[in-house]
Each structure stands twice: as C-alpha cells, then as structure tokens.
Structure 1
C-alpha cells in the first residue's frame, strides 16, 4: 500500500516537473527565469543581508543578523538532507529536460535556493512594513511571492522537481520561524517581569 502511494506521488512529481519545465515553455520565461533563479541563491541573500546590515541602521543590523542565522539554519538542514537522500537532479535522470542554467551534479532534494529565499523572505518580511495609500502592509506578502517565483524558476530551468521546491520552502519557513521564536524568547528573558 505504502509503495503504491509513494510510487503515485513520485510519478505525479515527474509529471508536474515536465508540465512546468516543458509545458510552460515560452521566450519570456526562458529569459526571465534564469535571472530570477540566480537571485534565490544563498550568495544573493547574504549580499542583501549585508546591505541591510550596513545601510539599515540599528533595526537593519538586527534583521540582517537574524536573516543570516535563518539562512545558516536552513542551508545546514538542506545540505544534510541532500547528503542523506542523494537524489540526482532531474536533468541527470530524465530524458528531454529543458536545462536553462549551468548546474553541477550536486543533489536535488531539497531545493537550497528555495529554502534560502523563504528563510530570508520570512525574517525580513515579518520585520518590515510598507505604507501604501495611508495603510500599512507587511513586506512579507511580496517577499513570499518572490520566494515562490524563485521556487517555480528552479523547476522551470530544469534543476529541481516540484517536491524539492515544496520541501525547500517548508524548511526555509520553519528555519525563519524558529530563529524569530528564539529571538523573542531571548528578548523575553532579558525583560524584567516578563517571566515572573
């Protein structure tokens, strides 16, 4: 029973991969998605956190450090799972994959770009708001949307399966929430009367 269920899930994973990688193929996405996918790398998010640290004032420094910790946690989990599961990337095992970026033969599950994007998006997005027409909105919504597009791009360019991206997103979100929870706990411990 479990084997049949797992086989069905993996089959749908491959079908969805082909639907996105080949079925949605167009010149606009062929140009945009390789660019977007690069903005999801841990290096890009470290640079963003670095800029926030340098130019963001006191709050920016705190948010940058939290973002870097979340990136570290998420990537430690991702690379541990990559090593344990050792799933080859789709372009190495499937025929007719439209590969749009250079990617080494590192393992596929889960997606590190997606995990990094969601980890940083949640930390930065929950810490900042923007005003529009007299109302305040969390930056979380556009940042989560961007992280989602990064995840989509990883499938579109041919380097990840949908399940890689889904688990990468989950790892990134949970890593960020754990870091923010630890920050709140540490802050509560420092405030007099909070735990009394």
Structure 2
C-alpha cells in the first residue's frame, strides 16, 4: 500500500514538474524564495497594527514566531525521521525531474517546510483578519498554494511532501490562533 502511494507520488511529481517551461522558471523561483514574501509579511504586520494596536501586534508577532518555529522544527524532525531523499538527490529520478535552481537544498524532503510555514502564516492571519480586511483570506490561501506548488515546480519536493506540509501548517495555525485568543482573553483584554 505504501509503495503504491509512493509510486503515485513520484508519477505526479514527474508530471507536474515537467509541465514547467524556461519562460516560467523565473516566476516560480521568485515565488519559492522566502525573502520575496517580505512585502506580504510587512503588509500583514501593518494590518495587525492598524486593527489591534502596538501591544497586541507584538503579541501576534511572538505567536507567529512560535508558530513558524514549531512548523519548521516539526518538518526537520520528519525529514530526519523518514529520510526520504529529495527528488533532486534521488539518482533514480534526477534525469526525470527538471531542477530549476542550481542548489537543491537539504538531503531530505518529507515534509516541505516552505508549504508548512506558508500555510501556517496564511491560516493564522486569515483567522486573525477575516472580519477586518476583505478578501485577505482568499489572497493568503492562494499565495500559500503558489508557494507550496513552487516546491514541486522547481523539483525539490514531492506532492505528498507539499500536501503534508500544508495540512500540518494549517493544523498548527489553528491551534496557535486558539492559544492566541485564549491568551488575549486572559491577559490582554
């Protein structure tokens, strides 16, 4: 059963990755670059400050830092626990996958920290600002999907890596948001 899932995952990676073209490579490299999201993060901070004030925004930043740390470290724990090679490090796949950037990243792939972190941020801020900024939730979820897909496009993650990352990031964000609301009620009022 697991072998069948892994085989389908490889097939889907090869199909999706090979849809890419050199004309789109630059776009997906920008999407996948963690620093390209800085303007979005600054905008989210602005919205948080505008709607919650300085004190709550500082608390929000602390919760986001905790959320990203948990998401990122869980990804590392899984990577070194499962030890599934990235497609770009798997010799049996290297000739089948388009590697868009010169550096492939770490050795292991399961699960994608990029997908987990982007879905964590998108979900947390979607809950936080859903009644404050119209359409923001939709934009954030689309952004998270783009970041997650970019990992497949550039050839460094399998679809299952991305899907698992998205699910775990979303779950962590829901838990973290509930903890934030609890903290807010008890200590910030």
What TM-score range do you get, normalising by the shorter chain? Answer: 0.7 to 0.9
Q: Contact (CA 8 Å) 2:44, 2:125: kept in 1 or not?
A: no
- Distance change (3 Å), C-alpha of 1:190 and 1:68: closer
Match of 2:5 among 9, 13, 29: 9
In structure 1, what is the Cα distance between the partners aligned to 2:106 and 2:179? 35
With 108-117 and 98-107 compared, the bigger mean Cα shift is at 98-107
User: More strand by proportion, 1 or 2?
Assistant: 1
What is the RMSD of the two structures over their aligned residues, measured on CA atoms? 2.9
Deviations 1:108-159 (A, max 9, x none): 000011111111111122222588xxxx625221101111111101001000
Other-structure match for 1:34:
29
Q: Contact (CA 8 Å) 1:117, 1:172: kept in 2 or not?
A: yes
Count, aligned residues: 180
Q: Contact (CA 8 Å) 1:75, 1:115: kept in 2 or not?
A: yes
TM-score, normalising length: structure 1: 0.80
Cα shift at 1:99 = 0.5
TM-score, normalising length: structure 2: 0.82
- Give the 3-state SS of the residue equivalent to 1:96 in structure 2: coil
- Give the 3-state SS of the residue equivalent to 2:134 in structure 1: strand
Other-structure match for 1:68:
65
Which ranges in structure 2 are unaligned for 5 or more consecutive residues? none
Q: Contact (CA 8 Å) 2:9, 2:158: kept in 1 or not?
A: yes
Q: Contact (CA 8 Å) 1:122, 1:176: kept in 2 or not?
A: yes
- Distance change (3 Å), C-alpha of 1:26 and 1:187: same
In structure 1, what is the Cα distance between the partners aligned to 2:73 and 2:96? 32
- Give the 3-state SS of the residue equivalent to 1:155 in structure 2: helix
In structure 2, what is the Cα distance between the partners aligned to 1:187 and 1:105? 38
Which ranges in structure 1 are unaligned for 5 or more consecutive residues? none
Q: Contact (CA 8 Å) 1:130, 1:138: kept in 2 or not?
A: no
- Give the 3-state SS of the residue equivalent to 1:76 in structure 2: helix
- Distance change (3 Å), C-alpha of 1:163 and 1:28: same
